Amino acid sequence: MDLFDRVSEDIKDAMRAKDKIKLEALRGAKKEFIEAKTAKDSDGELSDEVAVKILQKMVKQRRDSADIYKSQDRPELAEKELEEIAVLEHYLPKQLTEQELEVKLKEIIASVGATSAADMGKVMGAATKQLAGLAPGKAISDTVKKLLS
């Protein structure tokens, strides 16, 4: 069962359970999936890789919103965003820990032959392809900077 179908089935389960937070988060995800499927340059299919990218974008948006709500002293809205993040993260691949990320990046640095910060572009190109969905781009970038400096 692909990600789109899993989300669709879980929407039904959330409706039966009357779980408003889960239902709202999953409906938002399904809306984004349908928009991606019907986009002008789309072939009408939604691969799991594209679905994961959409979910990652949604999680990042909700994290940013939660931070804004916290800074504006709106904890009830921030809490809602954080609960939706927890629902969406359930569908994402397991994220790498800092140590695992560092090990993978050391391997990538060795494979592309990078020796200094000037080689960061080569490393980032390879790293973002290999680690797509396994770590946030900012974490990859920060770790590569640390390792190359």
What single string gives the DSSP state of each residue in 78-146? HHHHHHHHHHHHTTSPPPPPHHHHHHHHHHHHHHHT--SGGGHHHHHHHHHHHTTTTS-HHHHHHHHHH
Collapse the DSSP code of 108 into the 3-class scheme (helix H, G, I; strand E, B; otherwise coil) and give the result: helix
The full set of domains in the chain, from first to last, is 3-89 (1.10.1510.10), 98-148 (1.10.10.410)
- Going by the DSSP 8-state scheme, the letter that residue 93 receives in this structure is P
In whole angstroms, what is the distance from residue 138 CA to residue 131 CA? 12
At 88, the pLDDT band (50, 70, 90 cuts) reads very high
Does 1 have pLDDT greater than 80?
Answer: no
At 20, the pLDDT band (50, 70, 90 cuts) reads very high
| 18 torsion bin: left (phi>0), alpha (psi -120 to 50), beta (else) | left
Phi/psi for 64 (5° steps) reads: -60, -45
Does 64 have pLDDT greater than 90?
Answer: yes
Does 146 have pLDDT greater than 80?
Answer: yes
pTM, full prediction: 0.76
User: 């494979």: which residue's tokens?
Assistant: 111
Note the Cα 130 to chain centre separation in Å. 15
In whole angstroms, what is the distance from residue 32 CA to residue 48 CA? 13
Note the Cα 21 to chain centre separation in Å. 19
In whole angstroms, what is the distance from residue 108 CA to residue 135 CA? 14
